[in-house]
Amino acid sequence: MNHPNIIKYYNSFADKMNVYIIMELLDGYSLGDFILSQSEKQHRVTEEKVWAIFVQLCASLRYLHVEKRVVHRDLAPGNVLIDGEFNIKLADFGLAKRWGTQSASVMKSFVGTILYSCPEIVQSQPYTEKADIWALGCIMYELMTFKQPFGAGNLLTVAKKIVDGEYEPVNEDHYSQLLIQTIKACMTADPAKRPDILELCQLMVPVIMEQLDTLRTESQLSALEVKQLKEKHRDFAQTNTTQFGFRTVG
DSSP track, 27-89: -EEEHHHHHHHHHHHT-PPPHHHHHHHHHHHHHHHHIIIIII-EE-----GGGEEEETT--EE
Options 15, 27, 74, 83, the catalytic residue: 74
Would you say residue 5 lies in a domain?
A: no
Cβ–Cβ < 8 Å for 186, 136: yes
Is 151 found in the same domain as 238?
A: no
Query: What's the structural domain count of the chain?
Result: 2
Looking at this protein, which amino acid is placed at residue 109?
S
Is 176 found in the same domain as 84?
A: yes
Is 234 found in the same domain as 178?
A: no
Would you say residue 96 lies in a domain?
A: yes
CATH value at residue 113: 1.10.510.10
Is 213 found in the same domain as 152?
A: no
Is 209 found in the same domain as 108?
A: no
Cβ–Cβ < 8 Å for 114, 155: yes
Would you say residue 154 lies in a domain?
A: yes
Cβ–Cβ < 8 Å for 55, 208: yes
Would you say residue 198 lies in a domain?
A: no
Domain that holds residue 224: 204-250
Would you say residue 12 lies in a domain?
A: no
* CA atoms within 13 A of residue 183's CA, in its CB half-sphere: 26
Whole-prediction pTM value?
A: 0.80
Is 235 found in the same domain as 186?
A: no
Q: What is the pLDDT along the chain (250 residues), one digit of tens a residue?
A: 899 999 999 999 999 999 999 999 988 999 999 999 999 999 999 998 999 999 999 999 999 999 999 999 999 999 999 998 889 999 999 889 888 665 455 565 666 678 999 999 988 888 899 999 999 999 999 999 999 999 877 888 888 899 988 899 998 889 999 999 999 999 999 999 999 999 998 888 777 767 666 655 555 555 555 566 566 556 655 554 444 444 433 3
Please give the Cα distance from 203 to 250 (Å, whole number).
12
Please give the Cα distance from 192 to 188 (Å, whole number).
9
Is 223 found in the same domain as 105?
A: no
Q: How many helices (H) and strands (E) does the chain have?
A: 9, 7
Is 181 found in the same domain as 209?
A: no
Q: Which of 144, 173, 193 is the last residue of a domain?
A: 193
Q: What angle do CA 196, 101, 105 make, to 5 degrees?
A: 55
Is 82 found in the same domain as 54?
A: yes
Is 107 found in the same domain as 212?
A: no
**Among this protein's residues, is 74 annotated catalytic?**
yes
Is 242 found in the same domain as 121?
A: no
